[in-house]
Structure 1
Amino acid sequence: MTEISFGYTDGDVDTNQSATESLNDMVAQRYSRREMIRNGSVALTGAVFGGSVLAACDSPSIDSDPAPVVTAGTSGNTSAGRIVTLTSTAIDNTAVTGHAWTQTGGPTVTLTNPTTPTASFVAPAVAAATVLTFAYAATDGSGNTSSVTTTVTISPAALGFTAVAKNKNDVVTVPAGYSVQIGARLGDPIANGVAAFANNGTDTNYAQRIGDHGDALYWYGLSAAGARDDNASTRGLIVQNHENINQQYLHVAGATSTGGIRPEAEALKEIECHGLSVIEYAEGANRQWAYVQASSFNRRITPNTPAVFNGPVRGTDFLKTAYSKDGTAGRGTINNCANGHTPWATNLTCEENWAGYFRRSGDNAARSAKELTALSRYGVTSGSGSYGWSTVIASDAANTTFRRWDARATGADALADFRNEPNQFGWVVEVDPYNPGAAPRKRTALGRMGHEGCWPGNFVAGRKPAFYMGDDSRREYMYKFVSATAWVAADATNADRLAMGDKYLDAGTLYVAKFNADGTGTWLPLVFGTGPLTATNATYPFASQADVLVNTRLAADAVGATPMDRPEWTAVNPVTGEVYLTLTNNNASLRPLNGTDAANPRHYNDPYGTAGSAQYGNPNGHIVRLREDGDTTEALTFKWDIYLFGAGADLDPANINLSGLTADNDFSSPDGLWFGRPQNASGLVKPVLWIQTDDGAYTDVTNCMMLAAIPGTVQDGATKTITNTGSGGATATQATRVGAPATAATLKRFLVGPVECEITGVDSTPDGRTLFVGIQHPGEGGTPAAPTSHWPASQSGSAGATVRPRSAIAIITKNDGGVVAL
């Protein structure tokens, strides 16, 4: 007989002196230790949480219906942004009628299915290892309840995927554990009654179809009722730019002309494929995404859409044309590349390489010396204009849709022709995505250039906000615009969104950046009457602030800004406020061996292809970053370094591959940039930075790509002197500021695109669980008879040999439902 020893107890459950096995013992025999709480991304993290059996009492009860015996997981570990599943078991003589998971400690999370045995949550952002506690309770039919507690330790966010290998496949390749869906594609109808896209060159009415060359994009949330909701993640609007066209695929057998005259129908298609789109998306069952063809929000803004001008240039002679005799109105927007957004929920689309669309030569005698200087500086010098739209003879003689692209001075004055039409482009354009009837507004206070993005700095109440911009051409500049009005937080929810744009974007100071060799920098004001920006300037005599803003490049030249290696996208770290700028590349003719500087330091050769064709200059590009002194958008000085240098992993680590890139993260020609949203773990504490490429220098090795990074901070590296090489064997040294080397933990290749594409445009839903990525111009080198890509048809299997490629949005989700990349 088993000996029983007694001690003091204040509960009559202990009065049973039988040697019968305790309830704990019986349960332990029947139910071994098991996994009760686990990370939803085990395949990626290897984390397995152990389980234990926990009982509500220590020995059998004389009650004929004891409380349930419940189990829950013991402590486990995961990291921010990942799915955690809480699993429980309840054993009772009768049916268990109630389950309840509740959080009892740590940063608050939202539990999914908390009234079932299995609940889950997304691990929150944390700065250091943090413990979360959860209680599980089970209730039986007699009302008896038992509960136990379990803990989960959350570590800071980490890149939680295996790097994608470089490849030249005709699909979007993503890491294991992720899926790709296809969103709206070139030609997809966006209104009722518009025919499905045939994709054979016969389609028309692109004013009600998705445009070509999808570029920068941004998500604007919608509530179930269809109102603005900045935190909505299952229904929203995507505003996407349509930068350019693959002209050959828009027509049955490619573009045509007769005697140098383009057909009206062909030219109209091409024009309407430019601009931007506003399209509603919704998540359906099983996380399947689709755009909503009949949405009342859907809208195309093309180069033919009426627009208005605001700011200092509005109503001046610079904007007066035969169409806008008072200089206040315009038509549409073109060559829209990067973007920006505002806290009041409007979209900023940016007109980039617009100059080449205009026919303008042979009229020098009718132009002033100032005009000729300005036209030359902006590249408005073509004898035909891209695509020859100005040659069209319209069926309606009063229709100036095509004549506007002829910028020659042919009439008696500017009101009789379109000599000033180029001045109507090169602006930042504000669009209200929630109001399809509102005309776009061109914000002239932000200057005229090849705008590549207009990203907001971090807004702080009482401080004047800033917007950061690149000018996408080699040896152009980086700019910022500082509003004249300090930020009022309540304006973020003002329903008159474009009026908020009037308030913050129509008056302020435009600055251009000067990067000093010692890692400091200065913002130089572009203000008429200061320094060389006067009527006595020998190169270009400025007459007014409007003149400075129309001819921003000439003003930046005059004040001595630093010419950069093709400035493109800007992105702002939502935590630190640090500003990142991609410098896509440069060549030896524009950045010679003796023409480097600290911010643009490299000159080298990256041989292309098996023949080893020379590519001297800075063919792989780099990313510069800066931090405003005092961490304020109003600062006039900053610190800077070079965050990453693009390079093949096999290039010289001492002078070319200065960031220590490997086969898992080497890249070339950085272009698109975007930080994770601060509503989820990818945009908090140490936000994830997405880097996209538009590459010609490394496409002998791989298609264009997108990488995920967790960057450090400005000047986390050191000063380094490198040796540059020229084509004749000459060398020269250059000192520069190098950021901390990349590691497998801080930079990984996440995606490789299809053949001949550019990866451009990226945003996520606010919860970070769905990523939208623009795939632009796949198969751009092919012909209608022999396309060189068949994407997106190729994504789901083999496609026919003549299936034409289409720009489209790739929608990427993590199979376990967690935050993408983490």
Structure 2
Amino acid sequence: MTSKIPAIGYSDGDTDTNRSSNPTIHDIISQGRSRREMLSGGLTAASVFFAGGLLSACGGDASFGGPFGTSPTVTGNATTTARSGNIVTLTGTATDADGTITSQSWTQTSGPTVTLENASGLVARFVAPSVTAATTLGFRFTATDDGARVTTTDVTTSITPAALGFTAVAKSLGDTVIVPEGYSISVLYRTGDPINAATPAYANDGSDTNFGARGGDHHDGMSFFGLAATGTTRDDNSSTRGVLVMNHENINQQYLHPNGPTTVGGARPEGEARKEIEAHGVAVIEVVRSSAGAWSYVQSGALNRRITPLTPTSFSGPVRGNALLRTVYSPTGVAGRGTINNCANGTMPWGTYLTCEENWAGYFRRDAADTALRTAKQNVAMTRYGLGVRTGNYGWATVNSSSADFAKFNITTNAAAPADGTGDYRNECNQLGWVVEIDPYDAAATPRKRTALGRMNHEGCWPGRRIAGVRPAFYMGDDAQNEYIYKFVSTQTWAAADATATDRLAIGDKYLDAGTLYVARFNADGTGTWVPLVFGQNGLTATNATYAFTDQADVLTHCRIASDIVGATKMDRPEWTAVNPATGEVYCTLTNNSSRTVAGTDAANPRAYTDPKTNGTSTSGNPNGHIIRLRETGDTTEATGFTWDIYAFGSGADLSAANINLSGLDATNDFSSPDGLWFGRATNPSGLVTPVMWLQTDDGAYTDVTNCMMLAAMPGSVGDGATRTITNTIGATSGTQTARAGRAPGTTLRRFLVGPKECEITGVDSTPDGRTLFVNIQHPGENGTPAAPSSNWPNSQTGTATGIRPRSATIAITKNDGGVVAL
């Protein structure tokens, strides 16, 4: 039969052209009742769904989906409360009854911005940010299934201000490094470790050579400089790769040779002396953290290098080219060789490292005949800097060699040489005692000695806060008994753009080569004055009867004498300086002073007493030291006045609370001989709001009770304590003195680490995120012999290690949960 097909005209949508097998609404209704009654909503839900409306998710969270199946079911939880610097965990779950979860993620919805780790996983983490008061942070967990259906849930966590978050460790006389529960340490870089691919592993039996390509001895001041993931590019935000620049202050001479040091006919063997010389100086060492979190140093790092007492250097600033610097090596007085006895340090905001030459005078030989060959003025200067008649540390000048490597350590005048010093090394001693700037990102850059900062036993040089348009200051201590605290104020005002300049040493030229050097005078009423050391002022003239200064170069080269003349306050061995990044207050450790007498006390150095030891001996003076702090007038680095008090007095907990233990120290925080000092970086919560101050000790008075240690503190501010009157007694002599004591530290000061036998704890820095702390362990077992070492550290750290020679080393400390160290 033939059927007639009608003509197709305007249909108004009533013509069925869909020939697919997709279900009709009748099919859905009839089948969906067995499918949770159309998502538990029956015909009503089906009607809403058909209209494209919003479906309700578990807990009322929003879900969006296509036409079929159920949306994901999600839950979310967060750490309820956490302190700044702690790890916060966000935990989500996501399930789907009839499909597959294809993605999930955490995002932040409110509060200070944080960086989420594993944000696309079920469990995300972040470091609680710095806050000044309890602050709520919001986060959203989102899950999506294979039908493109989305469900979310929101959670919150409350962040409270930072506080010390560890239990204090006990004092110890053991041979391991002890840190609080919940922390781990790893040994990173040791004396003798090879720093290039060509140098063999360290045998540690005295046979090793070529310390110019090995880790030096006596690890000391240290800074971390971030590197980009590849190459040698500076990256100040990197916490996984960088270079550690550190000082190698001195040596454990006995362990560097098979059977200790030797002499032949009164002369040191050249090979032994060269090894000892090269073990001093500075190191630049690349370090990296693996994806598993372990730190290691990179033996073949492109930036690795050693700067030793034999490395060429240049002079900059007012003393450059002056007659005082002329030697046979540098007749023009613009160049030098090497740096030595590098103790504390400084990190410059433009990405360079300052190393500071401390006890350099002892390395020089000076024969008795030299006194008659020098002028009266020269002899005054030599005496004031401790350059008396001596053979010189380690006898390097006795080596039978014509090499300048050894001859430079003999400063005895050669009567046959030119009187201007260009024919011998009579002026070599004037080439040391400076602050030296090093560019860690340029292995070919010549270190520069910054003479505008003065010549002394430099312990460290730390920059104050930088404010655009304000001249920056740099704070220093002269580490010897009854010496002074200094600051240098640049002529140039700070420009923030200089912090990221690529010609870093040129920026150092700008800020460190011209300015005013000041010395501190502390008044009994808690005020103080910065006295300028400028030629022609305050008695620093060519007619001064004590010392006739020639010019400003003479003042800077002999700034100790200049400070004597202007009436600076003699201090109890000023060591490290550190600046609180939140307040700008300056702290300085005053390690101890065995020559402090009862009659010689003053308000800034108020204690003189006898400290008993458990072995029946005792020490007198100020054997336990203290920490002084000052606040610049107007909170500006340009100020010439300040207020001050004493943050804490070193003491055993059992000593007199009325006259010695003025800070009320107890078994969790008593200490002696404060030395290293450093504040947490302002790039993480340990350096914000209430920054953590790290305090390290180099002790002789308390070592019958405990090895040296490191403490963490959250100090208050200048003036937060009270004035006290104390009675000092040494033997039959007694007298009273006023002490301007800060508030008792209490639980805001805690012992964080105790080192191995006979060590000093010195040198500290962290990664920018504050989650790794680098610390140096110096000269463990320093009193032992090759045959009977008195420590076996670092080998003893991981087990029994009998008879193995100890080595100074850098350790990396991390919190097991990944949080910021100390918080």
User: Does the TM-score normalized on the shorter chain lie above 0.5?
Assistant: yes
In structure 2, the CA distance between the partners of 1:62 and 1:183, relative to structure 1 (3 Å rule), is: closer
* Correspondence 1:393 to 2:400: yes
How many equivalent residue pairs? Answer: 769
Map of 1:634-673 to 2, 5 A cutoff? 634-673=638-677
Q: Displacement of 1:371 after TM fit?
A: 0.5
**Correspondence for 1:780:** 782
| Alignment counterpart, residue 600 of structure 1, candidates 591, 598, 605 | 605
1:54-103 Cα distance to aligned partner (Å, 9 max, x none): 35489xx9986221221112671110001111001123212222212110
Distance in 2, matches of 1:207 and 1:14, equals 78
**Correspondence for 2:817:** 816
**Correspondence for 2:590:** 583
**Correspondence for 2:15:** none
Residue type matched to 1:793 in 2? N
**Correspondence for 2:93:** 89
In structure 2, the CA distance between the partners of 1:160 and 1:326, relative to structure 1 (3 Å rule), is: same
Map of 1:679-698 to 2, 5 A cutoff? 679-698=683-702
Distance in 2, matches of 1:483 and 1:341, equals 16
Distance in 2, matches of 1:348 and 1:717, equals 34
Map of 1:270-669 to 2, 5 A cutoff? 270-362=276-368, 363-394=370-401, 397=402, 399-411=403-415, 412=417, 413=419, 414-587=421-594, 590-611=595-616, 613-669=617-673
Q: Would the aligned equivalents of 2:62 and 2:152 in 1 still touch at CA under 8 Å?
A: no
Q: Displacement of 1:610 after TM fit?
A: 2.5
1:7-40 Cα distance to aligned partner (Å, 9 max, x none): xxxxx9886499xxxxxxxxxxxxxxxxxxxxxx
Distance in 2, matches of 1:531 and 1:762, equals 38
Distance in 1, matches of 2:208 and 2:773, equals 30
**Correspondence for 1:45:** none
Residue type matched to 2:295 in 1? W
Distance in 1, matches of 2:78 and 2:195, equals 52
1:94-117 Cα distance to aligned partner (Å, 9 max, x none): 222221211000000011111111
Distance in 1, matches of 2:255 and 2:74, equals 64
**Correspondence for 1:8:** none
1:425-459 Cα distance to aligned partner (Å, 9 max, x none): 00000000111111110000000000010000011
Q: Displacement of 1:383 after TM fit?
A: 2.0
Distance in 2, matches of 1:353 and 1:62, equals 78
- Which consecutive residues of structure 1, in runs of 5 or more, have no partner in the other structure? 1-11, 19-51
Quick one: percent identity of the two aligned structures? Answer: 62
1:107-132 Cα distance to aligned partner (Å, 9 max, x none): 00011111111111110000110000
Distance in 2, matches of 1:668 and 1:261, equals 39
Q: Displacement of 1:723 after TM fit?
A: 1.0
| Alignment counterpart, residue 763 of structure 1, candidates 743, 762, 765 | 765
Residue type matched to 1:697 in 2? A
Distance in 2, matches of 1:334 and 1:383, equals 18
Q: Would the aligned equivalents of 1:358 and 1:405 in 2 still touch at CA under 8 Å?
A: yes
1:143-176 Cα distance to aligned partner (Å, 9 max, x none): 2211111110000011111111000110110011
Distance in 2, matches of 1:275 and 1:417, equals 23
Q: Would the aligned equivalents of 2:481 and 2:572 in 1 still touch at CA under 8 Å?
A: yes
In structure 2, the CA distance between the partners of 1:640 and 1:139, relative to structure 1 (3 Å rule), is: same
Map of 1:24-39 to 2, 5 A cutoff? none
**Correspondence for 2:736:** 733
Distance in 1, matches of 2:123 and 2:163, equals 26
1:316-347 Cα distance to aligned partner (Å, 9 max, x none): 11000111111111001000000002111010
1:403-446 Cα distance to aligned partner (Å, 9 max, x none): 11111112332122111110000000000011111111000000
SS at match of 2:292: helix
Distance in 1, matches of 2:705 and 2:490, equals 45
Q: Would the aligned equivalents of 1:243 and 1:334 in 2 still touch at CA under 8 Å?
A: yes
* Correspondence 1:260 to 2:261: no
**Correspondence for 2:120:** 115
Distance in 1, matches of 2:40 and 2:253, equals 86
Residue type matched to 1:717 in 2? G
Q: Would the aligned equivalents of 2:628 and 2:647 in 1 still touch at CA under 8 Å?
A: yes
Distance in 2, matches of 1:255 and 1:364, equals 30
* Aligned-residue CA RMSD (Å): 1.8
Distance in 1, matches of 2:366 and 2:297, equals 41
Distance in 2, matches of 1:64 and 1:301, equals 71
In structure 2, the CA distance between the partners of 1:74 and 1:390, relative to structure 1 (3 Å rule), is: closer
Q: Displacement of 1:225 after TM fit?
A: 2.6
Q: Would the aligned equivalents of 1:68 and 1:91 in 2 still touch at CA under 8 Å?
A: yes
| Alignment counterpart, residue 230 of structure 2, candidates 225, 232, 236 | 225
In structure 2, the CA distance between the partners of 1:439 and 1:74, relative to structure 1 (3 Å rule), is: closer
**Correspondence for 2:192:** 187
Q: Displacement of 1:690 after TM fit?
A: 0.2
SS at match of 1:542: coil
Residue type matched to 2:307 in 1? I
Distance in 2, matches of 1:683 and 1:731, equals 42
In structure 2, the CA distance between the partners of 1:387 and 1:74, relative to structure 1 (3 Å rule), is: closer
**Correspondence for 2:250:** 244
Distance in 2, matches of 1:654 and 1:16, equals 82
Q: Displacement of 1:609 after TM fit?
A: 2.6
In structure 2, the CA distance between the partners of 1:493 and 1:254, relative to structure 1 (3 Å rule), is: same
TM-score, normalised to structure 1, is 0.92
* Correspondence 1:151 to 2:152: no
SS at match of 2:675: strand
Distance in 2, matches of 1:455 and 1:674, equals 10
* Correspondence 1:138 to 2:143: yes
Distance in 1, matches of 2:186 and 2:228, equals 23
Residue type matched to 1:573 in 2? N
Distance in 2, matches of 1:472 and 1:56, equals 65
In structure 2, the CA distance between the partners of 1:274 and 1:135, relative to structure 1 (3 Å rule), is: same
Map of 1:55-66 to 2, 5 A cutoff? 56=61, 65-66=69-70
Residue type matched to 2:445 in 1? A
* Correspondence 1:198 to 2:203: yes
In structure 2, the CA distance between the partners of 1:727 and 1:361, relative to structure 1 (3 Å rule), is: farther
Residue type matched to 2:687 in 1? G
* Correspondence 1:750 to 2:752: yes
Distance in 1, matches of 2:725 and 2:62, equals 71
Q: Would the aligned equivalents of 2:79 and 2:90 in 1 still touch at CA under 8 Å?
A: no
Distance in 2, matches of 1:328 and 1:735, equals 48
- Which consecutive residues of structure 2, in runs of 5 or more, have no partner in the other structure? 1-37, 45-56
Distance in 2, matches of 1:321 and 1:418, equals 5
Distance in 1, matches of 2:724 and 2:58, equals 59
In structure 2, the CA distance between the partners of 1:563 and 1:57, relative to structure 1 (3 Å rule), is: closer
Q: Displacement of 1:285 after TM fit?
A: 3.1
Q: Would the aligned equivalents of 1:261 and 1:393 in 2 still touch at CA under 8 Å?
A: yes
Distance in 2, matches of 1:265 and 1:53, equals 78
In structure 2, the CA distance between the partners of 1:114 and 1:261, relative to structure 1 (3 Å rule), is: same
In structure 2, the CA distance between the partners of 1:445 and 1:62, relative to structure 1 (3 Å rule), is: closer
Distance in 2, matches of 1:110 and 1:57, equals 25
Q: Displacement of 1:505 after TM fit?
A: 0.6
SS at match of 2:775: strand
Residue type matched to 2:641 in 1? T
Residue type matched to 1:740 in 2? R
Q: Displacement of 1:203 after TM fit?
A: 0.4
1:340-362 Cα distance to aligned partner (Å, 9 max, x none): 02111010000000001001131
Q: Displacement of 1:606 after TM fit?
A: 1.2
